[in-house]
Structure 1
Amino acid sequence: MGTAEKLRALEELWDNLLKQPDAIPTPGWHDDVLAEREAGVRQGEARFDDWRSVRKRLRDRFN
């Protein structure tokens, strides 16, 4: 199976999984991470960037 075929298969699998998001188990550590981030927002410690800035930073980093 070539790379393009593998990517198409992955996309099909992903699309299929997205049809039933509740069937995908969430690992326990994920709840902990979300709680920490929520606490950071409540305490005013979280920092947010707009998508345009993030996209530029990523392009600069990987180009």
Structure 2
Amino acid sequence: MITISPKDMTTAGKLSTMEILWNDLCQHGSFESSNWHEPVLNSPEQQYVGGTQLPMDWEKAKQQIRNKIE
């Protein structure tokens, strides 16, 4: 088996590898989400349905994410 460090891979190579792994997991994998996933995912949806969270423009959302990681 040949192994390669992610540090030695190009961005395109990393993305290609991730896509191959994701496709394989979707076709052949069986896994359960952790217990904490459901409430985290449901919270924004419940806020939206309850009217306390309004939809956000995609460009504005991306900018907010960029501001948080800078």
**TM superposition score normalised by structure 2:** 0.53
Question: Which has the larger share of helix?
Answer: 1
Distance in 2 between the 1:3 and 1:10 partners?
12
Q: Which runs of 5+ in 2 are unaligned?
A: none
SS in 2 for 1:28: coil
Structure 1, unpaired ranges of 5+ = none
Query: What CA distance in whole angstroms lies between the structure 2 residues aligned with 1:43 and 1:28?
Result: 23
Describe how 1:1-63 pairs up with structure 2 within 5 A: 1=4, 2-4=8-10, 7=14, 8-20=16-28, 23-55=30-62, 57=63, 61=67
Identity among equivalent pairs (%)? 20
TM-score by length of 1: 0.56
**Aligned residues between the structures:** 61
Aligned-pair RMSD on alpha carbons? 3.3
Runs of 4+ in 1 over 6 A off after TM superposition: none
Mapped partners of 2:28, 2:57: distance in 1: 30
Q: Relative contact order, CA 8 A, sep 6+: which one is greater?
A: 1
